[in-house]
Amino acid sequence: MYTIDVNASRPYRMLIGTFLLEKTGEIAREVNRGARALIITDDNVGPLYAAPVSESLEAAGYRCAVATFPAGEEHKRAGTYIDLLERAAVEELDRADLIVALGGGVVGDVAGFVAATYMRGIDFIQIPTTLLAMVDSSVGGKTAIDLAAGKNLAGAFWQPRAVLADVGCLGTLTDAQFADGCGEVVKHAMIADADLFGELESTPLTPELLKRDLARVAWLVARNIDIKRAVVEADEREGGLRKLLNFGHSIGHGVEAAEGYRLGHGTCVAIGMVAIASSAVTAGALAEDVPARLAALLEAHGLSLAFHVDAESVFAEALHDKKRTGDAIELVIPREVGGAALARTPLDEFRRILEVGLACTRQLSSPSTKED
């Protein structure tokens, strides 16, 4: 088991290993002394893992309840959030009690926002069950719901009391769900760790690796968490450095929305990363071979670079991005493998970057994933 301490405004410990679900109650009691716990999960994850987590919490002395909502990004909305707040009140949770977020990124974001705002903030624990949530959304205290105008437009910074990343849960993911998390793994390597990028080129993080070498998967998850930990500690509230973690996201979120959310988040971020890298090459800011290396690495991790929307549609959706202020948007521009920089970019220039980058991404997409 790996242990990573996050020294944020509210310090907490992240545990990465196996058989952690059964230790939830024990770990919870180290950071919380309440009488009640509300597990928030979705209807995919709940049937798989709510029982052992609930049993562990009850064994530790909690009166435990489970609140389940429908799975999917389309349910990361105000209605779900309000329903869960009402459920917390019905269960008579008080300020000493605990919320447990059990699931992927949507569950973690919504449950964390409930915890941040119920009674002006109560303790919560993250139990991410997807690779994407383990290496990204469970780290750093960002919580949110989506609004009609865009993703994550209502939320709060609220650090968990602990994070339990049980890599055994990854065995129940589909290949597509597993690949979706690999987009963030490659992103971390691209902006902060050239050695990790090279290691992933040699040995991709795939479902096959999960089957034959769970220990290496746990190590890779821990390494990614440590990359994000360092960024969060340096810039918890995203005033500067933490914005580097948005590499590929402005374009990726635009693709995601323009495609009607039919593509996975990791896939859309992958498209965004290759697009912005390709545009950086045309501007003379990045070596010419990097976009092709990046595209090949993403596709080796099962991420398609195929999309069916045009640049104008993506641009229209990207205008709702939180990183836009007035007539400019802040982009993360790769300078080399393992390094990137922030650039405040006028919207007309961003439109050009989109057009050039998405055109190059189509060309770099492998023949098997190109659109008809």
Question: Annotated catalytic sites, by residue?
Answer: 120, 142, 184, 228, 238, 242, 246, 249, 253, 265
Q: What are phi and psi of 24, to 5 degrees?
A: -55, -50
Count CB atoms within 10 A of the CB of residue 115.
30
Any idea what DSSP says for residue 351? H
Burial 246-274 (b: 16+ CB within 10 A, else e): bbbbbbbbbbbbbbeeebbbbbbbbbbbb
User: Token pair of 295, please?
Assistant: 């595209």
Q: Three-state DSSP class for 332?
A: strand
Q: Three-state DSSP class for 288?
A: coil
User: Token pair of 116, please?
Assistant: 């941040």
For the CA atoms of 306, 217, 244, 234, what is the dihedral angle to 10 degrees? 170
**Gap between the Cα atoms of 79 and 152, Å rounded:** 14
**Gap between the Cα atoms of 356 and 340, Å rounded:** 19
**Gap between the Cα atoms of 42 and 45, Å rounded:** 6
**60: number of CA atoms within 13 Å, CB side?**
25
**Gap between the Cα atoms of 263 and 254, Å rounded:** 12
